Amino acid sequence: MVAKNLKNKGLIAFLLLLVIFIGLLAYQNSRDFSMLKDAFDTEKQELENELQQVIEEYQSINYENHEFSGKIKDQLGKAISLRDTIQGLKVSNFNLLRMYRKRISNLEKENKELLNKLDSISKLNQNLFIENDSVKGILSETEQLNSELYNSNRALSRKIETATALEISNVDFSAMKKKSSGKLTTTYRSWKTDAFRVKFDLLENKIIDKGIIPIYIQLINPKNEVIYVKGRTQLKNGKRIIYTNTLKANYFNNTLAIMSLIDVDKEKMEKGNYKVKIYVNGKYLKESIIKLK
């Protein structure tokens, strides 16, 4: 009986020890799992943070119409896909974290290389922009200088044109009648007019070259028609005119008296205003009017 009790007590003690051992083992396993979970969560969060930084770097790049736009989109897609995969990992996938850590390391390396290339291109573009801006500045200054030179040349040309232009004064336009003696005297009667006399002074100009100066005279009747036409000529401004008389003055830079006598048929003369226009050296200078009765 005593032996049987001792045997039962020994069995109870063994079972008690077994329960204690199992409890200790369970506690240890629970403690190890908790530590493993903490390490997993920490490692997982670190990987997610690293990937999020890579994603934000790619998203901050304005890659539209960029030569590396395809590469940037591809790398961004890889980073987002890897981040989503890691977010879905459980503690049981702890061993996979090492593999993903390596993939993230490779992705970060590619990201660094790509960003370095983009930075180099950005610096090159900035330098080109600065150079282009400098060239535009130089071109603008050149255009302004050319404009100033053009304006100066025009002003100088006008001054030269003005300085070399001939002028006339003392214009005397008269209707003349012929006496029986052949002498001409002035008249204001249309039916007595045998000729028109045009007198003026070609003024001094020391700048113009000496030589022959062409003079053209238009006689215009009351109907505003050039009469007794002798020919046509072209002025310096390109305009073509018909003329009544032409003279060639031998000019030596000093004041020169000029006279033109234009014979007319008094039988065809009409009452009214007659006009004379004077052109010297290819330019219109002056005109004068007389009224015949």
pLDDT tens readout for residues 130-161: 666 666 667 677 777 777 767 666 765 555 55
Shared domain for 116 and 181, answered yes or no, is no
What is the reported pLDDT for 181? 85
Identify the helix (H) or strand (E) that includes residue 287.
strand 283-292
Q: Which CATH number is 223's domain given? A: 2.60.40.2560
91 belongs to a structural domain = yes
How would residue 292 be classed by pLDDT, with cut points 50, 70 and 90? very high
Is the pLDDT confidence value at 21 over 80? no
Kindly report, residue by residue over 188-236, the tens digit of the pLDDT.
Answer: 999 999 999 999 999 998 888 889 999 999 999 999 999 999 999 999 8
140 belongs to a structural domain = no
Average pLDDT score over residue span 8-30: 56
What is the reported pLDDT for 188? 93
150 belongs to a structural domain = no
- Number of domains the chain is built from: 2
**Which domain-ending residue is among 59, 90, 125?**
125
158 belongs to a structural domain = no
111 belongs to a structural domain = yes
**Which domain-ending residue is among 68, 90, 125?**
125
| Separation of alpha carbons 39 and 245, rounded Å | 118
Give one DSSP letter per residue of 12-56, joined into a string: HHHHHHHHHHHHHHHHHHHHHHHHHHHHHHHHHHHHHHHHHHHHH
> CB 243: neighbour CB atoms within 10 A?
19
Is the pLDDT confidence value at 4 over 60? no
Report the DSSP beta bridge partners of residue 213: 249
Backbone angles phi, psi at 85, to 5 degrees: -65, -45
SS3 per residue for 66-95: CCCHHHHHHHHHHHHHHHHHHHCCCHHHCC
**Which domain-ending residue is among 71, 102, 125?**
125
Shared domain for 82 and 10, answered yes or no, is yes
Please indicate, yes or no, whether the overall pTM of this predicted structure exceeds 0.85: no
| Separation of alpha carbons 164 and 39, rounded Å | 102
Shared domain for 114 and 189, answered yes or no, is no
Shared domain for 121 and 7, answered yes or no, is yes
Shared domain for 104 and 198, answered yes or no, is no
107 belongs to a structural domain = yes
132 belongs to a structural domain = no
Tell me which residue range forms the domain holding 36.
Answer: 2-125
233 belongs to a structural domain = yes
